[in-house]
Structure 1
């Protein structure tokens, strides 16, 4: 099957010869996960530019991908190899790399600007990194369920405004996972002069917003710029999503593993699209939305804080560390859970039970119409078998 790795290996036209497209955006969004500080050729000044080809070829690939989902993805080496030999990517330059993580304020923010020549001048893609493997990164993602604004969103606005003031040319904003949310937020909140330079906004399987960041979200000009794509079994990208203008991409993996960009299917200069999400994804998304609407922001915050306090009690700093000693950490987590006070225990179990109950009700609700549709067909076949003239 064809994915972004095969796309880069086959698409050898320059951006001047073939315009920037949604598949390019997913490639650039994936590049936001690289640890550019591990490259020996990164300029000391954030505004200094270096060829992406040099970053890839002169760096240790394990160091570049350390700490993100790319570290364990089987296509990472093929991706970097295709990148290093791509005629299309040969003039792409890296600048304005930022990487900020703070456990104290539950913030994980990283972005990089990738510039490339176009027919008239130069364009700039501001790629926002999605969630890394740290608990701080995941905690900030879950905070989106009860906070109007999280620290990374403020950082994304400042980053977009700063880069726009330092360069001239068209701006593309995009990202995968939480990075897609940050790209949208920045585009919605930058001042008017910067927004007029935005040529596209790409959200690849990133969540939406608890509340609209600005009235711009309903304007036709923003809707024309926005490209939201989710895999067919999307869960994360549909959180808080109220709009219907997203597109569903076919993927080669199953269930939540479709979140990985390397599983998304491509054809030519675009993705392979489906008409709708898979039924299981629709079921889960409807249940999760009902659960979120059924809890107050305070209840969501309390539940999320409790879960992460339990995870932190294992002394693991990331999901990778938690999984490295899965049995021991799980045992310690369960032990910590038993030490919760009675009221907190009751609250946690009631919250989990509520989500389980909604999933059960939603499943029954969706199965009933299907059963009613099947029943007449069964009776008709039975009647015909008995020689009925009905």
Structure 2
């Protein structure tokens, strides 16, 4: 069991001919799309206008501390350490970054960033950024829950199309973390057959899924065998909406939501370290959120999220950094704006948000009850030395009860 930094050190002298690009490399290189590279790399799909990785760190070195101070969400200490490590590793030094694009449009509720990484082996990695620190980015994430298409997905598709036409004959690998993984899958899924044939793999790292209508399209099904969806044990984001395959569960050095940070994931040899299953915590939150979502139609969900983000914007905040820099002041402003809502609107919002907490609590109680029942069943099994009957196994716990409830609702 090693960290990604130890993996880089261990593999630093293996070029991509000796050791082909693997899932760990993709995870590492994908983290670079989070750096604000607008001033250093242009959007031209021309690798000659790009920057080699052994030069990138030295180009940014004197500004990294300031970048971190201005935006610790994107430029974290872990990502700075990662950038320095790969800039010193022979394996990555000849990789070229180019075609960097970054767009944020508040009025369109759009947050999108992507870039290309050219390998010496005539391979191309197309990486999509996940959510940044802007409220616009987080709003677009929420829009995924009730919209079948968001602006970033459209741009992701168009970006990949342009990359393919600029580099015909090159083997493509597509990747993304968090919302970026959703964009990677969407972009690959809605290409023509020729472009899809050029795609070797699509990597989704703890990324939200899609509505069932999207998954069931022929184009999505064509790319589905090439998709690898990874989630940490305590995954929340990666279980949002629906996925076309069971996730690959990986081990993290952290617990809870910190597992969403990819630099915390563990490595076993040349792949991410596997676990047998997700945690009870992940199953509980997944089941509760899906139940809460299913009980509301798209218009109700849209009203809930629009109301929440309108209140956030009315405080004057535009990013998570602004909110967390002075949480007391923000909380006061938020409550003031909440109290100014029309009574019916405030009651609607409070009712739905309170109900989400109630649903989570009810699932927590049921999960604990299931666990205690299972402990009793296992103890009885140990005493009497016989196998539990099928209806008393783990298969009848909270998750499957929820699945049955969901199926009944969909059929109704």
- Taking structure 2 as the reference length, what is the TM-score of the superposition? 0.86
Describe the shift of the 1:380–1:317 C-alpha distance in structure 2 as closer, same or farther (beyond 3 A): closer
The separation in 2 between residues aligned to 1:372 and 1:278, in whole angstroms, is 18
Give the equivalent residue in structure 1 for 2:393.
none
Alignment of 1:1-390 (within 5 A): 2-12=2-12, 13-39=14-40, 42=41, 45-47=44-46, 48-59=49-60, 60-62=63-65, 67=71, 69-71=73-75, 73-118=76-121, 122-168=122-168, 169-210=170-211, 211-212=213-214, 214-219=217-222, 222-375=223-376
Q: Helix, strand or coil: the match of 1:19?
A: coil
The separation in 1 between residues aligned to 2:232 and 2:176, in whole angstroms, is 15
- State the Cα RMSD in Å: 2.2
The separation in 2 between residues aligned to 1:381 and 1:287, in whole angstroms, is 33
The separation in 1 between residues aligned to 2:107 and 2:160, in whole angstroms, is 24
- The Cα of 1:192 is off from its aligned counterpart by 1.1
Describe the shift of the 1:43–1:109 C-alpha distance in structure 2 as closer, same or farther (beyond 3 A): closer
- The Cα of 1:215 is off from its aligned counterpart by 2.0
- The Cα of 1:324 is off from its aligned counterpart by 0.8
Q: What are structure 1's unaligned runs of at least 5 residues? A: 383-390
Describe the shift of the 1:379–1:80 C-alpha distance in structure 2 as closer, same or farther (beyond 3 A): closer
- Taking structure 1 as the reference length, what is the TM-score of the superposition? 0.91
The separation in 1 between residues aligned to 2:16 and 2:160, in whole angstroms, is 22
The separation in 1 between residues aligned to 2:2 and 2:315, in whole angstroms, is 41
Q: Which moved more, 1:351-360 or 1:15-24?
A: 351-360
Q: What are structure 2's unaligned runs of at least 5 residues? A: 384-412
The separation in 2 between residues aligned to 1:103 and 1:2, in whole angstroms, is 40
- The Cα of 1:378 is off from its aligned counterpart by 7.5
CA contact (8 A) 1:35 1:63 kept: no
Per-residue Cα deviation, 1:175-210 (whole angstroms, up to 9, x for no partner): 101000000000100111111100100000110012
Count of aligned residue pairs for this structure pair: 375
The separation in 1 between residues aligned to 2:354 and 2:59, in whole angstroms, is 52
CA contact (8 A) 1:38 1:63 kept: no
Describe the shift of the 1:224–1:336 C-alpha distance in structure 2 as closer, same or farther (beyond 3 A): same
- The Cα of 1:43 is off from its aligned counterpart by 5.6
Describe the shift of the 1:43–1:378 C-alpha distance in structure 2 as closer, same or farther (beyond 3 A): closer
Describe the shift of the 1:336–1:16 C-alpha distance in structure 2 as closer, same or farther (beyond 3 A): same
CA contact (8 A) 2:178 2:238 kept: yes
Structure with the higher fraction of residues in helix conformation: 2
Q: Helix, strand or coil: the match of 2:82?
A: helix
Structure 1 residue ranges, 4+ long, deviating more than 6 angstroms after superposition? 376-382
CA contact (8 A) 1:67 1:132 kept: no
- The Cα of 1:44 is off from its aligned counterpart by 7.9
Describe the shift of the 1:44–1:215 C-alpha distance in structure 2 as closer, same or farther (beyond 3 A): closer
Describe the shift of the 1:334–1:57 C-alpha distance in structure 2 as closer, same or farther (beyond 3 A): same
CA contact (8 A) 1:33 1:68 kept: no
Per-residue Cα deviation, 1:78-106 (whole angstroms, up to 9, x for no partner): 21221111111011001111111100100
